[in-house]
Each structure stands twice: as C-alpha cells, then as structure tokens.
Amino acid sequence: MNKTLITVLAGVTGLLAAGAARADFANVEVYGTLNVDFENVKATGATAAGTNFAACPNGTCQMGGTPTGVIEPSRNRVTSNSSNVGFRGNEDLGWGLKAIFQVESGVNMSSASSTSTTGGTNSSGFWASRNSNVGLSSNTLGTVFYGNWDTPYKSLTNTVTFSPFYGTGIADVNTLIGTPGFGVATTTASGRVNAAGDASFDRRQGNSVQYWSPQFFGVSFRLVYSADAGRSSEPSSVANPNANPTIYGARVVGEWGPVQIAYAFEQHRDYFGLSQLGGQALGTAPMGANPGSKDNGNKVTLQYKLDWAAGTTLFSGAFENLSYNNKESGTASAALATNLIHFDRNLAYFAAQHKFGANTLRLGLGKAFSGSCDRASPTVACSTSGLDAKQLSAGYSYSFSKRTDVYGFYTVVLNGDFANYPLGNGSSITSTSIAAGGFGGASNGIGARQQGIGLGIRHTF
C-alpha cells in the first residue's frame, strides 16, 4: 500500500514538474525571417579618373573624393537580406511587471557560415548579432532594456510599413536614408570603429540602454543612450586624443486613425563621422590632442493609410537632415586651414504600397541633395557640387499566406559626379581582391549608376 502511494505521489510530482517546465517554455518563442533573392547587379558610368570640380582644378574645394572610373560589370548573386533566427520570451513577475528578453542572430542563406562584418562588428553567423536585449516591461510604465538594438532613429523608417521592400535589401530606403553617401552604409557597432560606420545614422547600436513609453492618447516615444565605454585614457596626446564617444537619441510618434506623424533625433558625440567624409583623421597633428565632434540626425515622417474600393494604399514620406561637425584644437598650420570641419545634407523620400487581395505593388522614390560644407579657414573654398543622388525602386509581391511572399523588384541609384551612395543594406557591387583570396576587382567608382533586379521569396515563422 505504501509502495503504491509512493509510486502515485512520484508520478504526480513528475507530471507537475513537467507541466511547470512546459509552462516556462511556453513563454519562449522561436521565430525568424528567411528572405532570399536571386539578383543581377551592375555599376556603370563612373566618373572618369582625374575629373575635378570645374571651378576648382586642384580639388581643394571639392570634398567628394577622387574619381577612379572603375565600373562593375553585370553579375548574378544570391543575397540573404538580413535573414535571421531568434528566441524571445517573458516571465510574469507580478504587479503588472514582466522580465523580457530576445536573442536574435543573422543567418547567411547563401553560405554555410559567415564571418562578414558591418562597421566592425559581426553581423551574421554569430549569436546575438542582431536585435538582442534583456529588460523589464510594464503596460503602464513602459519598457526599459539593455542590449544591442536598432536605435529609435533607425527604427522609424526601418519597418515593413514604411519601407516598401521589407526594410532590407538593395532596394531598401536605407540606400539614402541614414547615410551621407561616401560609401557609408548601415552598421552594427558598440562604439567607434574608426571606419565609415562612424558616420552612419542607420545603426544597430550595442552598449546601449533604451526606454519605450506606453502610448498616451495616440502618442508614444523612445529614448536611447549608448554608453562611453570607448572613452580615451589620460593623459591626452595627439596619438591618444581626448575623446568621449557617446550616442543620444529619441523619437516621438503620434498615431490617430489612418494618420501617423513622427520625429526622430540622434546625436553622436566624439564619433568623428566627418573624418570618414574627407575631414582630418582623429589622432593626427592638425586635429590636435583635444578635438571634439557632434554629428546630428533629424528626421520627420508622415504616413497615411487609405482604404478604398480598389484595395488599401499606404503613403509614406520622410525628410531628413544629417549634420557633421568637428571641433579641432591643433596649432595653426597650412594643413589646418583646409581641414573640413562641417558638412550637412538634406533628403526627401516618398514611398507607397498598394495592396489588393494577395497582391502588393511597391514603390520608393528618394533624392539626397548635395548639401553644404565648411573648412577651418573661411577663406578656403569648399564645394559639395556633384554629391547629390536619386533612387528609384519598384516592385511587386504576391502573398501565398500571411507568412510567405514571393516578390520581384528593380532599383537604380543615380549618383552625382562625386557621390557614392551604395545600394541598400550596404550591398555594394564589388569583387573580392585577389590578395584576399577572391577574383580581383575594386569597389565601383564614384559617380556610378548602380542598379539591380531581383526575384525572391520571404518566409516568416
């Protein structure tokens, strides 16, 4: 009798334990997006080597870089377009509070493994290479978390609602939005990387804290602070300048019925993005031992959803200003006078998606303006002529289900004579150099017309 009772109790205990384990596991979701396309891409019409701005034969007033005339002939490729897999979940802590977490990793569907990097940080083939966090969430107080996550500035336009092309790929809006050109593309970083990523405002930023508010009368906001773990040691010197790199950002979104209006701001302190756009490199004598920089991004968006007899149309528009500013403390010299200390540029973008049944027509049009610039000495000319660019993207998708789309698209970027806006998602048209084990070739030249056509499939789970 006692043995029977013990057996029954053991069985009940085991069932309860298993049930508890299943209950805990039920709060964890495995999810992902597999978005792969077959593309044909090319870059033609690069500005010829030796070309100078007409009013500046010595090139001292032009900041667009040195034309090479290099083009990239037509080629085919398979692209993974930010495909990913992740785990996310929560635990109810009581009093309306939850612990939350997410671990998302990029996967390369066209290669068994990848060590590719974006702005100096692993972007695929590595754990937590994409949006990953841990934090606390309350329906009444909002959400706060630590981690590696898209900044509020980026997330305003990097969505499947604003971007007609799923927020990724060579046709995406980040071809122009969040980049000043100059080969600067989307980046994943925890701090300064002393590379083009330092000038990017299309960032997945590590080493950061974010707060997301609840919605009040249709209005919500997000804040981000990326800590100054990369602060320089003391004492300062030219070789070890006094830098304190931090990022601050915020966005405010108002949604009322079919209308959404939003504004985002982001400031990079001591990131020296201008040093990647032709300005003096950090750690060089003309910049001095105590330089500083403030790079600002401002972005306004407007969206309107129209339901009518022919289907549903979503109109989206954005205006953006990027401003880069270096403050130098070097001694007076001839080199200092020509240093680039300021550059800004404006952008306008329009997008539309029209859905009827399982069909969606997709369109994106954008223009980045030439901007303006200044050098350390007001008597030294600075010109941004030829730094403008235009983008046209058009496509179509068919939804077999809520989770599976097939799609096709065409995109073209028309760079000005001295501009270098790469295709969306940083997917430049290049060959790996022979020295790096590839087939030879070089980055497509300044001023090139970059274009691509693709056919893909996107599945979410």
Distance in angstroms (rounded) separating the CA atoms of residues 292 and 287:
9
Q: What whole-number percentage of the chain has pLDDT above 90? A: 68
If you write DSSP's letter for every residue of 125-150 in order, what string do you get? SSTT-SSEEEEEEETTTEEEEEEEEE
Query: Per-residue confidence at 141, pLDDT binned at 50, 70, 90?
Result: very high
Enumerate residues 6+ apart whose C-beta is below 8 A from 272.
192, 198, 243, 279, 282, 291, 293, 326
Residue 332 has pLDDT above 50, yes or no: no
Query: Per-residue confidence at 5, pLDDT binned at 50, 70, 90?
Result: very low
Amino acid found at 253: V
Pick the more confident residue, 356 or 123.
356
Pick the more confident residue, 247 or 336.
247
Query: Per-residue confidence at 203, pLDDT binned at 50, 70, 90?
Result: very high
Supply the pLDDT for residue 378. 84
Supply the pLDDT for residue 310. 94
Distance in angstroms (rounded) separating the CA atoms of residues 433 and 272:
28
Residue 21 has pLDDT above 90, yes or no: no
Query: Per-residue confidence at 329, pLDDT binned at 50, 70, 90?
Result: confident
Q: Which two tokens stand for residue 7?
A: 């057996």
Supply the pLDDT for residue 123. 57
Query: Per-residue confidence at 335, pLDDT binned at 50, 70, 90?
Result: low
- Mean pLDDT (whole number) for 426-442: 53
Supply the pLDDT for residue 132. 97
Supply the pLDDT for residue 130. 94
Q: CA nearest 44: which of 368, 412, 408, 394?
A: 412
Distance in angstroms (rounded) separating the CA atoms of residues 79 and 452:
12
Supply the pLDDT for residue 432. 52
pTM for the whole thing?
0.90
Residue 120 has pLDDT above 80, yes or no: no
Lowest mean pLDDT, pick from 71-85, 358-372, 397-411, 413-427: 413-427
Mean of the per-residue pLDDT values of the chain: 88
- Mean pLDDT (whole number) for 77-93: 95
Domains assigned to the chain: 29-460 (2.40.160.10)
Pick the more confident residue, 404 or 194.
404
Q: CA nearest 445: which of 171, 72, 174, 77?
A: 72
Query: Per-residue confidence at 290, pLDDT binned at 50, 70, 90?
Result: confident
- Mean pLDDT (whole number) for 178-196: 92
Query: Per-residue confidence at 323, pLDDT binned at 50, 70, 90?
Result: very high
Residue 7 backbone phi and psi in degrees, to 5: -60, -45
CA distances from 157 to 164, 263, 321, 328, 401 (A): 10, 11, 14, 33, 25
- Sequence length of the chain is 461
Pick the more confident residue, 67 or 263.
263
Query: 118, 174 in Cβ contact below 8 A?
Result: no
Gyration radius of the chain's alpha carbons: 25
Query: Per-residue confidence at 443, pLDDT binned at 50, 70, 90?
Result: low
Supply the pLDDT for residue 331. 55
Query: 199, 180 in Cβ contact below 8 A?
Result: yes
Residue 197 backbone phi and psi in degrees, to 5: -60, -25
Q: What whole-number percentage of the chain has pLDDT above 70? A: 85
Pick the more confident residue, 59 or 312.
312
Query: Per-residue confidence at 273, pLDDT binned at 50, 70, 90?
Result: very high
- Mean pLDDT (whole number) for 127-132: 92
Lowest mean pLDDT, pick from 121-135, 375-389, 395-409: 121-135
Lowest mean pLDDT, pick from 101-115, 241-255, 375-389: 101-115
Lowest mean pLDDT, pick from 94-98, 284-288, 329-333: 329-333
Supply the pLDDT for residue 118. 47
Distance in angstroms (rounded) separating the CA atoms of residues 221 and 460:
27
H or E stretch including 334? helix 334-337
Supply the pLDDT for residue 436. 43
Query: Per-residue confidence at 26, pLDDT binned at 50, 70, 90?
Result: low
Residue 356 has pLDDT above 50, yes or no: yes
